[in-house]
Amino acid sequence: MRTLVKHGRIVTAVDDYHADILIVDGVITEIAREIRDPEAEVIDAAGRMVIPGGVDPHTHLESPSALTTTSDDFVTGSRAAAVGGTTTLIDFARQSKGGSLQQAYDTWQQKARARTCIDYCFHLIVVEMDEARLEEVPAMIASGVVSVKMYMAYRGRLMVDDGTIFRTMLAFKEHGGLIALHAENGDVIDVLVRQALAAGKVAPKYHAVTRPPVTEAEAVFRGICIAEVAECPVYFVHLSSRQALEQVQRARDRGLPVYAETCPHYLLLDESLYEQPGFEGAKYVLTPPLRAVEHQDALWTGIRAGDLAVISTDHCPYCFVDQKALGKDDFSKIPNGGPGIENRLSLIYNAGVHGGRINNNKFVDLVSTQPAKIFGLFPRKGTIAVGSDGDLVIFDPNREIEISAATQMMNIDYNMYEGMRLRGSADEVLLRGKPIVRERKYVGQPGDGAYVPRQRYRYP
């Protein structure tokens, strides 16, 4: 299979130039001013940017929670990702209590294999780490699962203690892995939640009130300290507040291998949405919660400075009508999470580049290159170069789209950005040279995506 992308403006994390790109059997074989190949399918990218396919390192597809399961499975969620310009996702294979790491990996492979529309791989979620589990670590890393996420909140279901975090860090860093943390002080939050409910405060907005920024900042600081003792690289998922970011900044200023991501909703939405009438606020019950608007400036500053290296979605969709409603009379029972896998590139291009906050190269870095580098996918993913996979997005920086749940591909009955008009959209998407989106319409097949084993951590 030969695909030739002509006349595009190639934008990577560092480059910006006009050239043609030839992809043969999935891999970029040539980049030159002018390429002719009579056998290749030609895609004309004139007037548009050609960027590496997005890498979303934080999604929850077909993921069971306490009372329900996320509404997008590996087919619908990855199809929505494709339409939005994302060609690789990293989901989470979750260990069950008493279960092995291998079982977690096998279970999630079963959900994803032959169904996913874009390339995929997994972080593990570890909930226990005893001797038998420690012995599995080298095999996990050899299967390309080089990162683990652990939760510092949700006691009784997901939360691990500091000793488990430390043991897991030691084991994974020894074999070339890294650790991601969901940083919130779960025990303090649990007390605040119980107090709120006892006082009759059951509405969605109390989800935010009971998870103040300092509970995030404390956990980030603790996570950094444990990682420093373990000499292990650490990555903080969904960073949401200025106070938490300050901890990351301080650690990075000291030269520690500490990384963090934020998500579009923390940059573009704020806690005033919880004040909407009735149960509407439940649409924004995600964790950490939306913050006061002044946190947004701090996060953008952190992005420009490189302290926030990645923008992921934390796509964790629950339908409003029959899933969010589980918490109608008790905010603590509202499934935590929101949708976003389809809209990441347009949201960040519009607010970031058109908003004058970042340039084109930084945009690519945040949504593709950095997640690929930190999580061991680079240079196969995350850039446009000879030898890299032919995952390309023909991106029209000026095309205007309007976000609406009525027209979206995500399998969910609302969108947090409903009605927002954005400039910047993926027009065509190639997955290893194969067109899977043409003129913004999905034309691929479930199973187009392949499992991508990841490389051991190298200092990016």
396 binds Zn ion (CB under 5 A): no
Name residue, tokens 């260990």. 95
Name residue, tokens 């940017």. 49
Q: Which is nearer to Zn ion, 95 or 425 (CB)?
A: 95
Q: Which residue is nearest to Zn ion (CB)?
A: 314
Q: Which is nearer to Zn ion, 65 or 168 (CB)?
A: 65
Q: Which is nearer to Zn ion, 74 or 395 (CB)?
A: 74
Residues forming beta bridges with residue 347, ordered by sequence position:
none
* Candidate ranges 109-117, 219-227, 308-316, 356-364; the one touching Zn ion (CB under 5 A): 308-316
* Candidate ranges 42-50, 64-72, 129-137, 310-318; the one touching Zn ion (CB under 5 A): 310-318
Minimum CB distance to Zn ion, residue 60 (Å): 6
Reference 259, options 324, 205, 181, 331; nearest CA is 181
How many CA atoms within 13 Å lie on the side-chain side of 432?
Answer: 14
* Candidate ranges 74-82, 133-141, 307-315, 437-445; the one touching Zn ion (CB under 5 A): 307-315
How many CA atoms within 13 Å lie on the side-chain side of 251?
Answer: 30
Q: Which is nearer to Zn ion, 11 or 410 (CB)?
A: 410
Residues 6+ apart with CB under 8 A from 187: 155
Tally of CB atoms within 10 A around 142 = 13
Minimum CB distance to Zn ion, residue 237 (Å): 6
Minimum CB distance to Zn ion, residue 443 (Å): 30
Reference 295, options 267, 317, 315; nearest CA is 267
Q: Which is nearer to Zn ion, 95 or 350 (CB)?
A: 95
Confirm if 63 and 112 have CB atoms less than 8 A apart. Answer: no
* Candidate ranges 25-33, 61-69, 306-314, 444-452; the one touching Zn ion (CB under 5 A): 306-314
314 binds Zn ion (CB under 5 A): yes
Reference 458, options 137, 127, 214, 233; nearest CA is 233
427 binds Zn ion (CB under 5 A): no
Q: Which is nearer to Zn ion, 205 or 238 (CB)?
A: 238
Q: Using CB atoms within 10 A of its CB, is residue 319 exposed (0-12), middle (13-18) or buried (19+)?
A: middle
Binding mask 184-223 for Zn ion (x = CB under 5 A): ----------------------------------------
Minimum CB distance to Zn ion, residue 294 (Å): 24
Q: Which is nearer to Zn ion, 180 or 422 (CB)?
A: 180
Q: Which is nearer to Zn ion, 314 or 428 (CB)?
A: 314
Minimum CB distance to Zn ion, residue 272 (Å): 23
Maximum CA pair distance of the chain? 73
Residues 6+ apart with CB under 8 A from 295: 213, 240, 241, 242, 266, 270
Q: Using CB atoms within 10 A of its CB, is residue 35 exposed (0-12), middle (13-18) or buried (19+)?
A: middle
Q: Which is nearer to Zn ion, 70 or 369 (CB)?
A: 70
Q: Which is nearer to Zn ion, 10 or 61 (CB)?
A: 61
Minimum CB distance to Zn ion, residue 35 (Å): 41
* Candidate ranges 3-11, 185-193, 212-220, 312-320; the one touching Zn ion (CB under 5 A): 312-320
Q: Which is nearer to Zn ion, 56 or 314 (CB)?
A: 314
Minimum CB distance to Zn ion, residue 317 (Å): 11
How many positions of this chain bind Zn ion (CB under 5 A)? 1
Minimum CB distance to Zn ion, residue 231 (Å): 26
* Candidate ranges 43-51, 62-70, 105-113, 311-319; the one touching Zn ion (CB under 5 A): 311-319
Minimum CB distance to Zn ion, residue 316 (Å): 5
Minimum CB distance to Zn ion, residue 336 (Å): 9
- What is the C-alpha to C-alpha distance for residues 28 and 50, in angstroms, rounded to an integer? 13
Positions that interact with Zn ion (CB under 5 A): 314
